[in-house]
Amino acid sequence: MSQQASELFDNFQELTPSEFFRKNKQMLGFTGKIRSMTIVFHELITNSFDAAEEAGILPEIEISLKRVDKDHYVLRHSDNGPGIPEDYIMKVYCTMFAGSKFRNIQSRGQQGLGCSGCVLLSQMTTGEPAKVISSYKEEGELKGVKLEFKMDVKKNKGMLLNRENYEPKHTGVCVELEFKDVSYSMAEQGAFEYIRRTVIGNPHAKIIFTDPTGHKYIFNRAADMVPVLPKEVLPHPKGVTADDLIFMAKHTDKRRFRSLLTSSLSRMSNQRIAEIEEITKIDLNKRPKDMKWEEAERIVEAFSQMNFMAPPTSGLIPIGDEQIEKGMKEILKPEFITATTRKPVTYRGGVAFIIEAGIAYGGDSGRLVNETRKAEIMRFANRVPLTFDQGSCAITESLKSIDWKRYGLRDLDNTPATIFVNIISTQVPYLSTGKQSVAPEPEILHEVKQATMKVARKLQKYLRAKKAAKEEAMRSKIFDDYVPLILKESAALAETEVPEYKEVLAKVTKRSLAELLGENPDKAEEEVEEEFESNKDDGLEATEEEKKKRNQKSNEKKEEQRTLVDRETTLDDI
């Protein structure tokens, strides 16, 4: 017997965001033990960075990870940011899709899922509550509070278990979470490597990390300048849809649709409004709420036919060549490094982005595999390391399309090099909510390739110079080995003193070796001069003695020759 329609809906349910992600935690990136731990580090660190920078504070983070049992850890994360007011603490850590990042502005996080996702994972794997200590300023007064709470997934909000006052010394937030079914690893995709890359992309930050063995790692900041805050920018006409216009119309306080367009979209002027009216034949003086879907589609179609200026880039703040080099030098200590920042361009017609690239060679560059340095790719989006899903990322795809042999790297995989690529945008096109790979938009693929080839050409020039210096040093060594012998034998044949060639030859050899090793050749030459000057007085007496011996030998040879001549004369007489 077939069921009635009403019976089919007996089990109809509505899920809150917390319930949905409780059943689908993989959509938050929590898949696998190592990855889950790394994602937790990622979410907590990025939130601390954003908060500190908005307050004009140089970020300083201290992380402690203690092992309770196998795959069972307690994580304690504290920062020196502005803190969180008490009324917002449980909203930040227990409410999905809540936060201050739902704006068209460059930021590390974009979805309001980070901290609450970490609390959800902790609660799902251990059942233990989250513990938060927040120190913040309110009306000029420093306040502090300790909260212990759990997440009510049915209501998508927090449940307070305990509250205590706290006497703070400075502002900041400390959160303690307990996890099971996660794992700490020193591998390329582990939490330690995430911190290492984070400091490279954020040279203004300092991170102190204590691992489960008790070993403390201190990653000092390489720059003392807080990044300039990006500005919120309006959407570009080329990047909006009919649905966007209808949504704006329903939630605006403007009385006319023309006012809505000029105030809600960038590069929109009264002249552009008149052009739109001429193309669409729509009266834009009408009330926004009277706008129909068909009219919105016609307006979007008109946008596609018009030539607008590129979107403003005041909302994009790149790291910068100098800062990238500082960050890479601090961690990698390479023998060669270079970086470049491309000009802003757009994808999908109206979303601006900037690509930055850098390359480091030698030193601690690359990844260490069985005591051999191999090439590594460091992918970033808005300064955040992307450590997973590398194969599906646009950055990886672009780098693989480059013919590295043209740049002096016959085998890139076995080259001690680190390739750094960062995409800056108000809307990074991630492939999933895990935010670990960038969509292969054609414009992004092109810009990544162009930026990387530019730094590769500079590396090629360095490698050529290094090879030439090595060949010059080899030639200098030949002179060093053979010229003294030639001069010595020549002087003996000519019955003259051996010329003072050592200082000149030593300078040439020392200078060539210094250039090969990347040292200062002028300084090397000065060291040779100092060495000869210091030995000059000490060897003066020895030199005089050698001259006497040489003169004595010369006189003896002359006497022998005269004796021979006398004998030959006597024989002739006889």
Residues 423 and 474 in one domain: no
Last residue of a domain, one of 418, 445, 463: 463
SS in 3 state form for 387-420? CCCHHHCHHHHHHHCCCHHHHCCCCHHHCCEEEE
Strand partners, 135: 144, 172
Q: Enter the DSSP assignment of 430.
A: B
| Cα separation, 563 vs 568, whole angstroms | 9
Determine which helix (DSSP H) or strand (DSSP E) holds 361, and give its type and residue range.
strand 351-361
Residues 48 and 91 in one domain: yes
Segments of the chain scoring below 50 in pLDDT: 1, 102, 110, 540-542, 564-565, 567-574
Residues 448 and 500 in one domain: no
Residue 52 is assigned to a structural domain of this protein: yes
pLDDT number for residue 566: 52
Exposed (0-12), middle (13-18) or buried (19+): which is 43, by Cβ within 10 Å?
buried
Parallel, antiparallel, or unpaired for β 172-180 and 336-341? unpaired
| Cα separation, 64 vs 74, whole angstroms | 8
Q: Which residues of 529-547 are buried (b: 16+ CB within 10 A; e: fewer)?
A: eeeeeeeeeeeeeeeeeee
Residue 227 is assigned to a structural domain of this protein: no
pLDDT tens column, 38-80 = 999 999 999 999 899 989 999 999 999 999 999 999 999 999 9
For residue 477, the enclosing domain spans: 469-556
Residue 295 is assigned to a structural domain of this protein: yes
pLDDT number for residue 207: 97
pLDDT number for residue 510: 60
Residues 327 and 389 in one domain: yes
pTM, rounded to two decimals: 0.75
Residue 243 is assigned to a structural domain of this protein: yes
Name the residue among 227, 207, 225, 215 with its Cα closest to residue 79: 207
pLDDT tens column, 183-198 = 999 888 899 999 999 9
Residue 572 is assigned to a structural domain of this protein: no
Residue 2 is assigned to a structural domain of this protein: no
Name the residue among 430, 454, 455 with its Cα closest to residue 441: 430
Torsions phi, psi for 235 (to 5 deg): -60, 150
Parallel, antiparallel, or unpaired for β 367-369 and 216-219? unpaired
Residues 117 and 133 in one domain: yes
Q: Enter the DSSP assignment of 256.
A: S
Q: What is the CATH number of the domain that holds 96?
A: 3.30.565.10
Residues 281 and 425 in one domain: no
Residues 529 and 494 in one domain: yes
Residues 215 and 75 in one domain: yes
C-alpha angle 26-189-428 in degrees, rounded to nearest 5: 65
Residues 171 and 50 in one domain: yes
Q: How many domains does the chain have?
A: 4
Q: Tokens 């090793």 — which residue? A: 517
Count of other CB atoms within 10 angstroms of residue 195: 21
Residues 447 and 479 in one domain: no
Residues 199 and 54 in one domain: yes
| Cα separation, 521 vs 526, whole angstroms | 9
Residue 389 is assigned to a structural domain of this protein: yes
Q: What is the CATH number of the domain that holds 362?
A: 3.30.230.10
Residues 122 and 91 in one domain: yes
Residue 568 is assigned to a structural domain of this protein: no
